[in-house]
Structure 1
């Protein structure tokens, strides 16, 4: 790399380069970045390093030490005031990071103005010094041994950034300036500064998204989908400054999976070949694991949409909300979805599994997003939120979650109409399901509808003025009779 860095427009030329993955910082705008008016100047006259953000300067410093002549940094690789260039380059992120010889991850810094090399937090408990003298030592002086807590392997604040999540997963070789130590990760192993390491099985693209899926490496579709659900649950823990970037920050990862699931369409974060399972995502509020106390929330806009609640995805998509989710994964769901007899709805136009008449793919990343409707043939039951407290419900429920969390967050649903089966059973006013709203404090007075996706679970919906339905949450069936044997009552439903 030359002493005075310059912007290079590659125009198809290829070379070995390093990429930087970092957090800009909340509402941080770099003093020096690529803009329409600076494009020619940065190419011709070069970049004044002293005017660069500290994280950018430190990345150049490391690149020089490692012998890299070229570095890709988003602030200079994307024209920041050109929406078309932003969209075009964002769609190439999988290749930008997947083709980089090395990705430098500034994991420990959440503000690019502060840098990341020296930004190391102090341990919660300082090291303890112990004086000792080796037996048989020729010197009479004592030595000192320092004992402290094990260094964490956590990446740091960058781990919670949606853009960085994608960049890290798409990179084949990484040096991470982590929360307390350095680490190096490649396709073979992870090596940490404290001497610990983890080895990998090389060539598995499901674990290394920088590798493109290929026809000669056969992978079962269900294995691909399992990995997708695993990654989306991790992704849901991340944050992004502009919530309308939600599809852009997942674009590169989705493209890798699209290459593997060639016969399936990507519908706003869900794969059409596994649509019903994909629709059964839910908040972690009933779950006892990490992040389960964090509720889902509606995204609020920034910039021109400052503070406004925005609709950034169809209501049925997990990308519509912010916060940690759980997907319908595990052996139980594998058993449920392996048998079509367990399913309770189908595509309206049964032409081989096309659930939506609309077009959507991973390259849809520019807000406002197009409409994506799901046309379904299913059974809908009008229900209401029961006034009976969930805590007083004595029956054993199907959901395999903490009983205490169910009492705290779930609601009881009762049938509104006199639902009657051939057996003559009446269900009006009885508890027919247990529901979990995606966003809390909903459904106290609104008309609710329940649509089964499987024999045991389904979606809570609300009806719009134009006859469409919006997702409100999920439910677990408590009264089988009211949802079974109703093939004659199946009707067309459009989810938006």
Structure 2
């Protein structure tokens, strides 16, 4: 990442936003935090606060979810963490576009993604004392891509902690994770080994499975429909290029399997959200992203 949060315990009650490209930057393993913004983010990096955050952020200013994630990362001897609202300049569209384009690399290279799966917002924290059933992060479009790209994800859920990686998934109760939607086979579609050994046809099938799940997710900003899945698309495009397969990405679809992908249709079941077209244009009508 271009910026990373230094959470070394030696800093005590302070964390520091570092520029990874400068001499004061730091290298080594880092964690990512996947979380719901909850409609309001009390602490974020802007043009005005960038230099302030690079001087240091006091612990008491951090939302509860951030505090819990940092404390847990420290317990694993991970001294750096990437949090989108603090590592991206939120009111700088140029920086936002640049950093969102790097999402695939950021999450794929993280040693662990800490997922605030049951947290409604930044002040909810990771840990639960009561049996809450809702796990809002599992319904967010951006979070789905983060899960797909991360080699390892530790979910702090409503009732238990759950583990998910490129090989398997499991939870404390030892049963099935029914609310996870993604099966292990679908998660593995972005595994480097799977992509290297896959045919173009199987890669296209895997993409359609991912789009199926992605289309059920919620977006706060409708026009984020393509940015929120662009990291996964870049991973697939790069794997096709490495195998010498020509690929063109068109509005969420691939040219080499364009006819098949035009056969998409809408459906409604107990998992689906009510379908309606966005009020403003975001995709051509031949694309699944238009609905």
> What is the TM-score of this pair, normalised by structure 1?
0.51
Following superposition, the deviation at residue 205 of structure 1 comes to 9.6
Q: Report the counterpart of residue 443 of structure 1 in structure 2.
A: none
Query: Number of residues paired by the alignment?
Result: 267
1:296-319 CA distance string (max 9 Å, x none): 2012xxxxxxxxx11011121111
Structure 2 residue 58 is the aligned partner of structure 1 residue 85: no
Q: Does 1:190 align with 2:200?
A: no
Instruction: Output aligned runs, 1:481-496, within 5 Å.
Output: none
* Cα distance in 1, alignment partners of residues 239 and 255 from structure 2: 14
Considering fraction of residues, name the structure with more strand.
Answer: 1
Correspondence for 2:182 = none
Aligned-pair CA distance for 1:119: 6.0
Distance in 1 (CA, whole Å) between partners of 2:255 and 2:94 is: 29
Residues 262-285 of structure 1: per-residue CA shift (max 9 Å, x gap): 312000101111111111111114
| Preserved contact between residue 171 and residue 210 of structure 1 (Cα < 8 Å) | no
Q: CA RMSD in A?
A: 2.3
Aligned pair 1:22/2:35, yes or no?
A: yes
Counterpart selection for 1:225 from 204, 216, 223: 204
d(CA) in 2 for partners of 1:284, 1:102 = 35
Alignment pair present for 1:282 and 2:269 = no
**Alpha-carbon separation, structure 2, partners of 1:86 and 1:122:** 34
2:49 to 38, 42, 67: 38
Residue 121 of structure 1 deviates from its aligned partner by 2.7
Which of 151, 156, 175 is 1:177 aligned to? 156
After superposition, the C-alpha distances for 1:25-83 in whole angstroms (9 at most, x for unaligned) are: 1x2132x2111121112112x11221122111111111121111101000111001100
Map Cα deviations across residues 315-374 of structure 1 (whole Å, 9 max, x no partner).
2111111xxxxxxxxxxxxxxxxxxxxxxxxxxxxxxxxxxxxxxxxxxxxxxxxxxxxx
- The question of 1:317 aligning with 2:259 is answered no
Query: Following TM superposition, by how much is the alpha carbon of 1:118 offset from its aligned partner in structure 2, in angstroms?
Result: 2.3
How far did 1:242 drift? 0.8
Distance (whole Å) between structure 1 residues aligned to residue 111 and residue 94 of structure 2: 27
Give the Å deviation of 1:213: 6.8
Alignment pair present for 1:243 and 2:237: no
User: After TM superposition, what 4+ stretches of structure 1 lie above 6 angstroms from structure 2?
Assistant: none
Is the partner of 2:197 in helix, strand or coil?
A: coil
Runs of 5+ consecutive residues of structure 1 not aligned to the other structure: 124-154, 199-203, 300-308, 322-496
Cα distance in 2, alignment partners of residues 122 and 24 from structure 1: 19
Query: Over residues 227-246 of structure 1, what are the superposed CA-to-partner deviations in whole Å (9 max), with x where a residue is unaligned?
Result: 10101000011011111111
Q: CA deviation at 1:290?
A: 4.5
Other structure's SS at 1:15 match: coil
Aligned partners of 2:66 and 2:191: how far apart in 1?
Answer: 24
Contact 1:212/1:256 (CA < 8 Å) preserved in 2? no
Give the match for residue 260 of structure 1.
239
Q: 1:206 to 1:239 in 2, by over 3 A?
A: closer
Secondary structure, aligned partner of 1:184: strand
Q: How many angstroms does 1:206 deviate by? A: 6.8
Matches of 1:260 and 1:11, distance apart in 2: 27
> CA deviation digits over 1:190-212, x for unaligned, max 9?
231124589xxxxx997152537
Cross-structure match for 1:129? none
TM-score by length of 2: 0.84
Deviations 1:350-409 (A, max 9, x none): xxxxxxxxxxxxxxxxxxxxxxxxxxxxxxxxxxxxxxxxxxxxxxxxxxxxxxxxxxxx
Secondary structure of 2:15's aligned partner = coil
Distance between the aligned counterparts of 2:51 and 2:28, measured in 1?
A: 22
Counterpart-to-counterpart distance in 2, 1:212 and 1:94:
16
Between 1 and 2, higher relative CO (CA 8 Å, sep ≥ 6) is seen in 2
